[in-house]
Amino acid sequence: MEYRKIKDDDDEVQEDNDVASDLESLKGKSHTVASSNIALATLGGYTERTTWKRKGVVTCALTILTSSQAILIVWSKRAGKYEYSVTTANFLVETLKCALSLLALTRIWKNDGVTDDNRLSTTYDEVKVFPIPAALYLFKNLLQYYIFAYVDAPGYQILKNLNIISTGVLYRIILKKKLSEIQWAGFILLCCGCTTAQLNSNSDRVLQTSLPGWIMAIIMALLSGFAGVYTEAIIKKRPSRNINVQNFWLYVFGMAFNAVAIVIQDFDAVANKGFFHGYSFITVLMILNHALSGIAVSMVMKYADNIVKVYSTSVAMLLTAVVSVFLFNFHLSLAFFLGSTVVSVSVYLHSAGKLR
């Protein structure tokens, strides 16, 4: 596995420091600290609180951004068909994320000075793994065009919930992190609950998917899960490294691979009608939103993990539906209420089932 190689190559001592600071947090939690340790323990408690706060903030940000993302999509659909080339929009999203990371970095450099952890320059050993997630996403997006030969669009929406399971499995295998049995039960329920919430009268058609369709859906779920888990592995490999530098390199390769996608998929349209053909105010809003959610995903990977990301985006999907009731006069189905209840229980189980 590639991740093991990263681990083996690791020449940082920072990880040990991180373990030490984790231990401090635990000490702060146990309330059985000898008086000589009180100062350290207090520091530990403080670190723990900040960790939790940061985790909470980035998770909430991701949830809200993902919800508004879905609402923008509904809005843009109501406004009419996509007239612009999706690949150019994706390229701009990556460019904007890159620019925002650089902007954040210049502020940090101004305040803290340039250090080993926040300098932009990198080594081949550090940077060589950064193109992999972008390459995986590109490959997945290309496959997406072929899966529609086997499944219709609503069916694909349902099959995409397989991502939840693939992320859990790859998180376990690649990152070697354990979930308790109760948390696994919660994860299966999350997948069932999200799918239930999306059920409509045509959903049964997905059961008629042919074997090649299923295989492609599973491959795409694995690619998507792998890209997510691999990104977490890269970002967590060097915990002290500034997240904006890590993001910068991720997004530089994202720009490169999306440039390839423009050439492969939309070369004619861009050559004939121009790069920005069909852009509207809502397109700009969507690009802005996608860029911010992308950064939020990176932050969740840095300060929490893929499991939190999956829960956060799933809850966002339900929030979107509730908000749509007010915005677009949506009618919520019985299936939606049942699915939401199952997802809520799943969130509870994930927290109640934490390994001690």
Contact 264, 312 (CB under 8 A): no
Stretch of residues binding its own copies (CB under 8 A), selected from 138-146, 179-187, 232-240, 299-307: 179-187
Q: How far is the CB of 24 from its own copies (least distance, A)?
A: 30
The residue among 308 and 345 lying less far from its own copies, judged by its C-beta, is 345
192 touching its own copies, by CB under 8 A: yes
Say how far residue 143 (Cα) sits from the centre of its chain.
19
Among 81, 181, 281, 356, binds its own copies (CB under 8 A): 181
Q: Whole-angstrom Cα distance, residue 259 to residue 295?
A: 20
Stretch of residues binding its own copies (CB under 8 A), selected from 22-30, 138-146, 192-200, 276-284: 192-200
Q: Whole-angstrom Cα distance, residue 148 to residue 141?
A: 12
The residue among 145 and 326 lying less far from its own copies, judged by its C-beta, is 326
The residue among 62 and 165 lying less far from its own copies, judged by its C-beta, is 165
203 touching its own copies, by CB under 8 A: yes
Contact 65, 42 (CB under 8 A): no
Contact 25, 47 (CB under 8 A): yes
Q: How far is the CB of 340 from its own copies (least distance, A)?
A: 9
207 touching its own copies, by CB under 8 A: yes
182 touching its own copies, by CB under 8 A: yes
Q: How far is the CB of 166 from its own copies (least distance, A)?
A: 16
Cβ-defined contacts of 13-20 (< 8 Å, 24+): 14/238, 14/239, 14/240, 15/238, 15/239, 17/240, 18/239, 18/240
**Coil, strand or helix: which one is 202?**
coil
Q: Give the position of tokens 């999509």.
A: 73
Kindly determine how many residues on this chain lie close enough to bind its own copies according to the rule CB under 8 A.
29
The residue among 62 and 164 lying less far from its own copies, judged by its C-beta, is 164
Q: How far is the CB of 341 from its own copies (least distance, A)?
A: 5
CB atoms within 10 A of CB 98: 19
Q: What mask of x and - would describe binding to its own copies in positions 122 to 161, judged by CB under 8 A? A: ------------------------------------x---
Q: Whole-angstrom Cα distance, residue 254 to residue 118?
A: 20
Positions 300 through 339 that interact with its own copies (CB under 8 A): 331, 333-335, 338-339
- Going 291 to 220 to 261 to 81, the CA torsion angle's sign is negative
Q: Whole-angstrom Cα distance, residue 211 to residue 142?
A: 20
Binding site for its own copies (CB under 8 A): 158, 181-182, 185, 188-189, 192-193, 195-196, 199, 201, 203-204, 206-207, 331, 333-335, 338-339, 341-342, 345, 348-349, 352-353
